[in-house]
């Protein structure tokens, strides 16, 4: 039986504590976020706040070691909105690989990326494949997990099967974890015409004037609490399954 670690955050440890934690952790968890426009009612760091909470809870439940949040991501779609900060795929890929190789140098072979920002997904998967092929590192990746179950709690209609932004889901979760940063008096719904979005690289300021896709006005704290738990439970279940698989 694996003993639970006393601390889960790497940055809070001394190097001696880190040496032991890196050796004992079942998996090292790296949360990735983004700084981007989330409508007039949510902060730019919405993805960061959400994924930090998810990653912390996952780390606790799988006996993982939690690394500091990577707060910047690939934000091409929303890059024309003021405050949105974009990192290219190439830079993000190299950054992730360097971090994972540093961990590998200290004995880590199981790593999990968690992102609530869809834009990071392509790079994360590419990095996971590269690290597996070239170094034999096991890298799991979870990008906006649990959405099919989460959507069962939604009152609002779905704009797209995969894409959403600053709507009922994100707003509800933020009302639960950071209510002081949510201004529901400014929440507005937007259901833009998809135009050529699904088969052409279309910037989102061409789709939505306020960086919202969906309906945030029906969001509630209660729904946010349930949604967050659904997401955490799904990642824990899948990650635990994956770790057992590679161990067998």
Least confident segment among 48-57, 75-84, 155-164, 203-212? 155-164
**pLDDT at residue 236, rounded to an integer:** 98
pLDDT in tens, 208-218: 999 999 999 99
pLDDT in tens, 110-165: 999 999 999 999 999 999 999 999 999 999 999 989 888 999 999 999 888 778 89
Which of 80 and 195 is assigned the larger pLDDT?
A: 80
pLDDT in tens, 4-39: 667 899 999 999 999 999 999 999 999 999 999 999
- Is 51 among the domain residues? yes
CATH of the domain at 159: 3.40.50.10310
**pLDDT at residue 16, rounded to an integer:** 96
b/e map 63-102, b = 16+ CB within 10 Å: bbbbbebbbbbbbbbbbebeebebbeeeebbebbbebbee
Q: Which residue in the block uniquely carries the two structure tokens 């259901």?
A: 191
- Is 44 among the domain residues? yes
Query: How far from the centroid of its chain's Cα atoms is residue 82's Cα?
Result: 22
**pLDDT at residue 5, rounded to an integer:** 61
- Is 4 among the domain residues? no
**pLDDT at residue 163, rounded to an integer:** 83
**pLDDT at residue 171, rounded to an integer:** 98
- Is 3 among the domain residues? no
- Is 247 among the domain residues? no
**pLDDT at residue 160, rounded to an integer:** 84
Least confident segment among 59-73, 96-110, 159-173? 159-173
pLDDT in tens, 155-191: 999 888 778 899 999 999 999 999 999 999 999 999 9
pTM exceeding 0.85: yes
Question: What whole-number distance in Å separates Cα of residue 141 and Cα of residue 224?
Answer: 23
- Is 156 among the domain residues? yes
**pLDDT at residue 62, rounded to an integer:** 97
- Is 46 among the domain residues? yes
- Is 2 among the domain residues? no
Question: What whole-number distance in Å separates Cα of residue 174 and Cα of residue 157?
Answer: 19
Helices 221-247 and 46-62, axial angle in degrees (round to 10) = 50
Number of folded domains in the chain?
A: 1
- Taken in order 69, 111, 126, 116, is the CA torsion positive or negative? negative
Average pLDDT over all residues of the chain? 95
Q: Which domain holds residue 28?
A: 10-242
pLDDT bucket at 1, cuts 50 / 70 / 90: very low
């Amino acid at each position: 039986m694996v003993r639970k670690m006393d601390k889960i955050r790497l940055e809070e440890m001394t190097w001696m504590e880190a040496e032991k934690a890196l050796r004992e952790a079942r998996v090292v968890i790296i949360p990735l976020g983004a700084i981007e426009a989330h409508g007039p009612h949510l902060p730019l760091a919405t993805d960061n706040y959400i994924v930090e909470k998810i990653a912390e809870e996952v780390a606790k439940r799988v006996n993982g070691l939690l690394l500091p949040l990577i707060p910047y991501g690939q934000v091409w779609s929303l890059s024309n909105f003021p405050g949105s900060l974009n990192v290219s795929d190439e830079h993000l890929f190299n950054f992730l690989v360097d971090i994972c190789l540093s961990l590998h140098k200290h004995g880590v072979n199981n790593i999990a990326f968690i992102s609530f920002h869809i834009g990071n997904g392509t790079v994360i998967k590419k990095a996971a494949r590269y690290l597996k092929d070239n170094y034999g590192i096991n890298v799991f990746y979870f990008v906006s997990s649990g959405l099919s179950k989460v959507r069962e709690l939604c009152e609002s209609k779905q704009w797209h099967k995969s894409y959403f932004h600053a709507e009922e889901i994100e707003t509800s979760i933020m009302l639960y974890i950071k209510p002081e940063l949510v201004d529901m008096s400014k929440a507005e719904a937007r259901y833009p015409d998809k135009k050529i979005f699904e088969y052409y690289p279309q910037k989102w300021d061409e789709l939505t004037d306020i960086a919202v896709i969906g309906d945030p006005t029906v969001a509630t704290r209660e729904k946010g609490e349930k949604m967050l738990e659904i997401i955490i439970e799904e990642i824990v279940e899948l990650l635990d399954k994956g770790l057992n698989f590679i161990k067998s």
